Amino acid sequence: MFGLDKKDTGLLLIVAALVAFAPILLNPFPENSALAQFNAGYPDLMQRFVIFGIFAIGFNILFGLTGYLSFGHAAFLGVGSYAGVWMLKLLTINVIPAIIMSTLVAGLFSILIGYISLRRSGIYFSILTLAFAQMSFALAASVLTPITGGETGLQTGLNDPRIFPEFLGGGATSGGNIPAPELFGLEMRASYELSVGGWLWTFNAGYYVCAIIMLVAFYVAIRIFRSPFGMMLRAVKSNQRRLNYTGLNTKPYMLACFVISGMYAGLAGGLMVSMDPLAGAERMQWTASGEVVLMTILGGVGTLIGPVLGAGMIKYFENIFSKINDNLLHQWFAFMPDGLEDFMVAVIHPFIGKGWHLTLGLLFMLVVIFLPGGLVEGGQRIGGLFKRKKKNTTTDTQSTAAN
Amino acid sequence: MDQFILQVLNGLDKGSAYALIALGLTLIFGTLGVVNFAHGALFMLGAFCAVTLSRILTLSHTVIDESKKDFLGNPLKVEVPYIQDWFGQAAGQTIIDWAVPLSILFAIPIMILIGVVMERGLIKHFYKRPHADQILVTFGLAIVIQEIVKYYFGANQIPTPAPEAFIGSFDFGALIGREPGAIIYPYWRIVYFLFSALLIAAVFAFLQFTTFGMVVRAGMADRETVGLLGINIDRRFTIMFGIAAAVAGLAGVMYTPINSPNYHMGMDFLVISFVVVVVGGMGSLGGAVLAGFVLGILESFASLQAVIEALPGINQVVIYLVAIIILLTRPRGLLGRKGVMED
């Protein structure tokens, strides 16, 4: 289907199903139950899952295929965000121009940075991208304030001079409120809530817009991974010098890959402002670039599904883990004797709430040390364990039969 | 002209911090071939050694002082540091006042220990892995160290003043025949610069004039041959890692009065220090020091009012701009050796 082989079609369909039913799947616990705070099925978080999924898929196209570790990818996300907000401010409140423009602007920006950075490889490439991203961040936060809103950030306002206030169904400032981004009259923050039994499921318009775009992005990534172009990029990763000796110029391939990756980041930025029309400079800081690296590594570099898993996992940790506090821990361990209960709470305390970064750091280190392939490799290993057991038992039976 | 001299001086102290961190980074890279993203965290740990020592020194107990009364006539409770009990009032006060310089003695063994544990426990297993993996695992370690420090010391900056003798500024202008008051420079920054110069000289002397240093240099040039000669080069490299950690730590200890430490100060310095190492040339100790000072001074020149007016925003980006230009025009950096990570 769609020019994919059976396995990839299966993968795409599974991802599509997961994404489509995410509002239900992510809310496994009834409302008002003790475990309800582990529910991740609220619009804001689900939007972030898919948006950062797109960001990580794009980063993985660069790092996973070619092995070039960019430490400045957040710059493209930031540039995309600014471009998106300006479209919402100047053109129309409809999100389509914003999303398209943010992708294009990030693409142009990545041509510029990629052209220079790709002249070096290895750690120098990492440092160059880092330097460019830090430069963009510093400029966006200071000198470029008229364009970027400086440290307060850029957002849509009441009196934005839109060229087409009514174009494509975009409503004007009705009721004196700042208009919300929308798609042909469908507001991004509009939700349909469905209550079944104790469960409350929220189906959010913005989430589904992001999800559909994410599926398209995922499909494109699969096609890139399976194409001759993708093979060429893998060849760059395994031995670029040999490739050059055979008379191939790898530069255009690398630049194309870098630009595609940058456009994915820009797309993610555009979607981010389409959901919440606010863009700040801190989105470009190098910690943000580090985050996408974490996501990709955690999920599994060079795998198709890995980055999406990693993005989901980190965002889940960030939102859910950081909400757990001591009172809750005391509730959970209430069945223990008092001394033991306090001890358990004291042991776990540094890892939760504000300390979730510590958990993240430890988890990340463990993954890099023991599971260089990330969660996907972990899954494969567990799968392999069962398979091997099965094989062993079959050989056992065979050997007993032979005896 | 006054402005010029002042900016050079201002650049020196920041430049010394860059140079010290970059020196440690280069030592680690040159000996072990590891790109250590956790080096900024070591700098930060050094700073928190100073914070810890000053907290230990000011541990106190409450004494009811009969000579002082509050407004109701009750005797006042006074916090008396234990150290004053042991050494007497004046001597105890002096020791507390000199907490930051004293932390040097406190920090050296701790930082060497941390360095050695880090190398033996983690980095050792990453020699054969690609550079990207080394960067990632040390990046993770840096996050973990940061978060632990944040857990114990909080997220706020912790003021750690210099000894009273060094508070105030030195009238540099009067010394070189300019009008007094034109070029003033805080005493502690002079101390910091002299201290770093001394530390850098000590590291170089150690490598140049001791047998241990000679072996290490030989190992940097050709690790395998030195190993084949029956020398346990791994152990020496481990010790070098400890020394590099101590250098970063001492840079942090002495930096605390200039900039109150907080848990992410290491990361802020790390990014720039990497740029410094690359500009100086990967694996070149001299290059790291030179680039550290050059970039520190350039940064302070870029924050001159006239320069900012001519090129807005230049003070924020000058270091990165220089790095980009150097990387593209001189692939080896300023003093880089041939054959060390050139691609």
Q: What is the mean pLDDT of residues B51-78?
A: 79
pLDDT of residue A376: 87
User: Letter for the amino acid at A112?
Assistant: L
Contacts of B131 in chain A (CB under 8 A): 122-123
Strands A182-183 and A154-155: unpaired
Q: What is the pLDDT of residues A372-388, one digit of tens each?
A: 888 888 888 888 888 87
pLDDT of residue A57: 94
CB A120 within 8 A of CB A93: no
CA dihedral A329, A334, A338, A344 (to 10 degrees): -30
| Secondary structure E strands in B101-220 | 169-171, 184-186
Please check whether residue A185 lies inside any domain of the structure.
Answer: yes
Phi, psi (rounded to 5 degrees) for A74: -65, -20
Q: What average pLDDT does chain A have?
A: 83
**SS (HEC) of B50-98:** HHHHHHHHCCEEEEEEEEEECCCCCEEEEEEEHHHHHHCHHHHHHHHHC
pLDDT of residue A347: 78
Running DSSP on this structure, what letter comes out for residue A184?
T
Please check whether residue A264 lies inside any domain of the structure.
Answer: yes
B295: pLDDT strictly greater than 80 = yes
Q: What is the pLDDT of residues B88-139, one digit of tens each?
A: 777 788 888 888 888 899 899 999 999 999 999 888 888 888 877 888 888 8
**Least-confidence region, from A224-238, A348-362, B118-132, B269-283:** A348-362
CB burial string B9-40: b at 16+ within 10 A, e below? bbbbbbbbbbbbbbbbbbbbbbbbbbbbbbbb
Cβ separation of B324 and A128 shorter than 8 Å? yes
B150: pLDDT strictly greater than 70 = yes
pLDDT of residue A175: 57
Largest CA distance in chain B: 81
Q: What distance in Å separates the CA atoms of residue B208 and residue B212, rounded to the nearest whole number? A: 9
Q: Per CATH, the architecture of B2-56+99-329 is what? A: Orthogonal Bundle (1.10)
Give the number of beta-carbon pairs within 8 Å between A and B.
110
Q: Which of B34, B123, B275, B320 to mutate to test the interface with A (most CBs of A within 10 A)?
A: B320
**Least-confidence region, from A215-219, A330-334, A373-377:** A330-334
A154 in reach of chain B (CB within 8 A): no
Q: What is the mean pLDDT of residues B131-156?
A: 86
Burial environment of residue A6 by CB neighbours within 10 A (0 to 12, 13 to 18, 19 or more): exposed
Using CA of residue A111, residue A112, residue A115, residue A118, what is the dihedral sign? negative
Cβ separation of A355 and B147 shorter than 8 Å? yes
Of A286, A358, A372, which is closest to B133 when you measure between CB atoms?
A372
**SS (HEC) of B122-180:** CHHHHCCCCHHHHHHHHHHHHHHHHHHHHHHHCCCCCCCCCCHHHCCEEEHHHHCCCCC
pLDDT of residue A221: 93
Phi, psi (rounded to 5 degrees) for B75: -65, 145
Nearest chain A residue (CA) to B277: A127
Q: For chain A, what is the total number of helices (H) and then of strands (E)?
A: 16, 6
HSE, side-chain direction, 13 A CA sphere, residue A254: 25
Q: What is the pLDDT of residues A253-309, one digit of tens each?
A: 999 999 999 999 999 999 999 888 888 888 888 888 888 998 998 888 888 889 999
> Which residue from A128, A78, A136 is spatially nearest to A102, judged by alpha carbons?
A78
Q: What is the pLDDT of residues A77-96, one digit of tens each?
A: 999 999 999 988 888 788 88
A28 in reach of chain B (CB within 8 A): no
Q: Which of A368, A370, A371 to mutate to test the interface with B (most CBs of B within 10 A)?
A: A368
Cβ separation of A286 and B343 shorter than 8 Å? no
Q: Taking the CB of residue B173, how many other CB atoms lie within 10 A of it?
A: 18
How many domains, chain A?
1
Cβ separation of A358 and B144 shorter than 8 Å? yes
Reading the block at residue B140, the tokens are 């993770």
CA–CA min distance B65, chain A (Å): 38
Q: What is the mean pLDDT of residues B65-86?
A: 75
Q: Taking the CB of residue B310, how many other CB atoms lie within 10 A of it?
A: 9
Confidence grade of residue A400 (pLDDT, cut at 50, 70, 90): very low
Of B143, B271, B316, which is closest to A357 when you measure between CB atoms?
B143
**Domain span holding position A120:** 6-285
Phi, psi (rounded to 5 degrees) for A278: -145, 125
Nearest chain A residue (CA) to B150: A355
Burial environment of residue A86 by CB neighbours within 10 A (0 to 12, 13 to 18, 19 or more): buried
A120: pLDDT strictly greater than 50 = yes
CB A267 within 8 A of CB A213: yes
CB A364 within 8 A of CB A294: yes
pLDDT of residue A270: 93
- Write out the H or E segment, with its range, that includes residue B302: helix B285-302
Higher pLDDT residue, A133 or B335?
A133
A104: pLDDT strictly greater than 60 = yes
A160: pLDDT strictly greater than 80 = no
Reading the block at residue A165, the tokens are 């206030």
pLDDT of residue A74: 92
Q: What is the mean pLDDT of residues A183-206?
A: 79
Confidence grade of residue A22 (pLDDT, cut at 50, 70, 90): confident
Q: What average pLDDT does chain B have?
A: 84
CA–CA min distance B93, chain A (Å): 35
Running DSSP on this structure, what letter comes out for residue A68?
-
pLDDT of residue A402: 45
Q: For residue B22, what are the CA distances in angstroms to A132, B105, B269?
A: 20, 22, 10
Q: What is the pLDDT of residues B174-207, one digit of tens each?
A: 777 667 767 778 888 888 899 999 999 999 999 9
ipTM of the complex: 0.80
Strands A199-204 and A154-155: unpaired
Q: What is the mean pLDDT of residues B35-56?
A: 90
pLDDT of residue B93: 81
pLDDT of residue B341: 57
> Which residue from B216, B259, B187, B188 is spatially nearest to B43, judged by alpha carbons?
B259
CA–CA min distance A121, chain B (Å): 6
